[in-house]
């Protein structure tokens, strides 16, 4: 449903100076940068995707619970449409992805679906992006 719609791809491997913890303002300020993009999610060095996901987990407690159970994904894709926020969480090692959708109202509830298999093309594209980001960060 969301395949290839998120290109061009944004990988911001440099952290943003503001802290997303409990900061819904961070989400509002960065929504345009995240919308219709796939973001690398890495704790160290901290990426924009990780900060975005951490802030969203504060707003949507079920997302935080999901992340505690499943672990942090390798990539996060995000789009907003008709008042709902749509996320896809990509896990390359297991070659699976989960979809997450917020309620249309301003509630803090989200719905999950999946896991869905990651296609070979998605896997190749995301793997290349991760390798490129690792080369830039020197890891």
Q: Is 41 within the bounds of a domain? A: yes
Predicted local confidence at residue 108, as pLDDT: 86
Q: Is 106 within the bounds of a domain? A: yes
How far is the C-alpha of 32 from the C-alpha of 43, rounded, in Å? Answer: 22
Do you find a cis peptide bond into 45, omega within 30 degrees of 0?
yes
Average pLDDT estimate for 44-59: 92
Which domain covers residue 97, as residue numbers?
Answer: 24-137
Q: Is 100 within the bounds of a domain? A: yes
| 85 token code pair | 């926020």
Q: Is 12 within the bounds of a domain? A: no
Closest CA to 90 of 13, 6, 27: 6
Choice between 136 and 114, residue whose per-residue pLDDT is larger: 114
Q: Is 105 within the bounds of a domain? A: yes
Q: Is 3 within the bounds of a domain? A: no
> Is 0.85 topped by the overall pTM?
no
H or E element, residue 15 = none
Do you find a cis peptide bond into 66, omega within 30 degrees of 0?
no
Average pLDDT of the chain to the nearest whole number: 80
Burial of 128 (0-12, 13-18, 19+ CB in 10 A): exposed
| CB-CB neighbours of 134 under 10 Å | 13
Choice between 11 and 65, residue whose per-residue pLDDT is larger: 65
Which of 23-32, 45-54, 80-89 has the least mean pLDDT? 23-32
**pLDDT surpasses 70 at 7:** no
Q: How many domains does the chain have?
A: 1
| 72 token code pair | 């942090």
Could you tell me the pLDDT band of residue 41, with boundaries at 50, 70 and 90?
very high
Could you tell me the pLDDT band of residue 82, with boundaries at 50, 70 and 90?
confident
């Amino acid at each position: 449903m969301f395949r290839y719609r998120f290109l061009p791809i944004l990988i911001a491997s440099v952290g943003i100076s503001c802290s997303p913890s409990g900061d819904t303002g961070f989400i509002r300020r960065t929504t345009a940068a995240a919308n219709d993009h796939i973001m690398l999610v890495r704790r160290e060095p901290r990426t924009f995707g990780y900060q975005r996901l951490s802030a969203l987990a504060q707003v949507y407690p079920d997302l935080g619970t999901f992340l505690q159970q499943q672990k942090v994904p390798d990539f996060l894709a995000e789009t907003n449409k008709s008042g709902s926020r749509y996320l896809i969480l990509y896990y390359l090692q297991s070659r699976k992805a989960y979809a997450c959708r917020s309620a249309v109202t301003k509630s803090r509830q989200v719905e999950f679906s999946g896991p869905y298999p990651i296609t070979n093309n998605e896997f190749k594209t995301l793997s290349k992006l991760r390798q490129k980001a690792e080369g830039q960060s020197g890891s």
